[in-house]
Amino acid sequence: MQWRHLPHNFPHRNTDYGYFAHWQKGGICAQLNGLLRELAREHHDRPDGPPPHRREHHLVA
């Protein structure tokens, strides 16, 4: 992310990056990504997990 391109009314870019780094290290970004993925799947009425064509690829014979 281009931290220097954040709006002028945001805190200083070092402060923003500090929050981001803390959230990334704590797994919060991954949790948010998972939650957003789940909400998108519900919105589009899709089942959990990868699409069927990708599931077959991961099976071990």
Q: Is residue 4 part of a domain?
A: no
Q: Is residue 20 part of a domain?
A: yes
Query: How high is the pLDDT of residue 25?
Result: 95
Q: Which long-range contacts (CB under 8 A, 24 or more apart) does 14-22 make?
A: none
Q: Is residue 49 part of a domain?
A: yes
Count the domains in the chain. 1
pLDDT 10s digits, 2-60? 777 888 888 887 887 888 899 999 999 999 999 999 898 888 887 776 666 665 555 55
Reported pTM: 0.53
Q: Is residue 36 part of a domain?
A: yes
CA dist 61 and 46 (Å) reads 27
Max distance between CA atoms of the chain, in angstroms, equals: 56
Q: Is residue 3 part of a domain?
A: no
Q: Is residue 2 part of a domain?
A: no
Provide the residue range defining the domain that includes 41: 10-57
